[in-house]
Structure 1
Amino acid sequence: MSDVFAVDWSTVPAPQDDGLARHLPGKSLPPLALKSTDGDLVDLSLLSGRSVVYAFPRMHRPDGPVTDGWFEIPGAPGCTPQSCAFRDHAAQLKAVGATYIFGLSTQDTQDQRETVDRLHLPFPLLSDDDRSFTHALSLPTFEIAGMVLLKRLTLIIKNGMIEHVFYPVFPPDRNATEVITWLGHRQ
């Protein structure tokens, strides 16, 4: 992970549980195909087994500017550390029952492919750039600089139904180990 994305979590405002994800556990997923960085269309409602889907606001490129005010938004910073943690723990996640691992954002697939390549992610990122999945599930969002972005959360999906939600997620670099612990108790 580049030092550009190193974060001192004690200086970042922590997100509070605003209740915007309480409706999700037990909800069936809509039959919607999401564009994937591996070139496929993925309909999460059709996948068998457990899927881990971590949603993040947006990846900033290391050669580009960070959105003004980004570090003042509770829960916004940390997309790279979170993705790297899921990358580094992918084998452990599979070992405790994750059949699939995906990242999800409202960024387009081209931006996401750069992220997959740069961070060497062993799993695809899914694009909800038209926000159809976000709207269908009423996922929590926020707006900045004219963009509507997902608030950070992680869905555990079992056979097309949301089994558990991690929300709010903070600090993001610990989310993968929290998911491993949760899944480990359900084997």
Structure 2
Amino acid sequence: METDLTYLPPNLPAPEDDGACDHLDGLRIPDIHLPATDGTMVSLQDIPGRLVIYCYPMTGPSHIPLPPGWDEIPGARGCTPQACSFRDHYQELQRLQTTVFGMSTQSPEMQRSEQERIHLPFHLLSDEHRHFSEALNLPMHYVDSLILLKRVTLVFENGYIRKHFYPVFPPDKNIDEVLAYLKTTTR
């Protein structure tokens, strides 16, 4: 059975702020190289200016079933709608001189398939070995044998976290919060 992953079912449980990201603002971006969907290794410390990384649990084609109980996990569902909202506002992010990446613990191959499937104009980064998430002590979902990032969006300015959005709900509206913040801090 295929699932329409662009659709957010009604009555999804909203995640609560458990304080798992309270330590992030002011932290320096880790000196880590991550594989991107274009096959390159991205050094996050080498990206000048403003950078937004939206972290999400997982995406995939609709013919791959979601983990059991996925819709009941607060904040789990909605990765594709979130990615599509960043895609749809990509030009506006560019006008605000902001580099954007999506990031998950999925393999670069899975992410590449997703980037192509939903036509993302930016790259996804794989934290498959969890070096980035562990360096920043990001919150995780533990589902069956999977270790997945919880949804958090990080805004970096010249290598430091200036703002984080957590919890992110509903995921398709996260871009609105991000853009509002970027517009109030325009250089």
Q: TM-score range by the shorter chain?
A: over 0.9
Question: How many angstroms does 1:3 deviate by?
Answer: 7.2
Q: Which residue of 2 aligns with 1:54?
A: 54
Q: Which residue of 2 aligns with 1:113?
A: 112
> For the residues of structure 2 that align with 1:182 and 1:3, how far apart are their CA atoms?
33
> For the residues of structure 1 that align with 2:115 and 2:50, how far apart are their CA atoms?
22
Q: Which residue of 2 aligns with 1:7?
A: 8
Percent identity over the alignment? 45
Match for 1:54: what amino acid? Answer: Y
Q: Which residue of 2 aligns with 1:155?
A: 154
Check whether the contact 2:32–2:132 (CA below 8 A) recurs between aligned residues.
yes
**Gapped runs of 5+ residues in structure 2?**
none
Regions of 4+ moved over 3 Å: none
> For the residues of structure 1 that align with 2:97 and 2:166, how far apart are their CA atoms?
21
> For the residues of structure 2 that align with 1:158 and 1:38, how far apart are their CA atoms?
24
Helix, strand or coil at the partner of 1:101: strand
- TM-score, scaled to structure 1: 0.95
Check whether the contact 2:3–2:62 (CA below 8 A) recurs between aligned residues.
no
Superposed CA RMSD in Å reads: 1.2
Question: How many angstroms does 1:66 deviate by?
Answer: 1.2
Check whether the contact 1:97–1:183 (CA below 8 A) recurs between aligned residues.
no
Q: Which residue of 2 aligns with 1:184?
A: 183
Q: Which residue of 1 aligns with 2:82?
A: 82
Question: How many angstroms does 1:60 deviate by?
Answer: 2.9
> For the residues of structure 1 that align with 2:172 and 2:97, how far apart are their CA atoms?
20
> For the residues of structure 1 that align with 2:141 and 2:59, how far apart are their CA atoms?
15
Match for 2:51: what amino acid? Answer: S
- TM-score, scaled to structure 2: 0.95
Helix, strand or coil at the partner of 2:4: helix
> For the residues of structure 1 that align with 2:60 and 2:36, how far apart are their CA atoms?
19
> For the residues of structure 2 that align with 1:74 and 1:45, how far apart are their CA atoms?
32
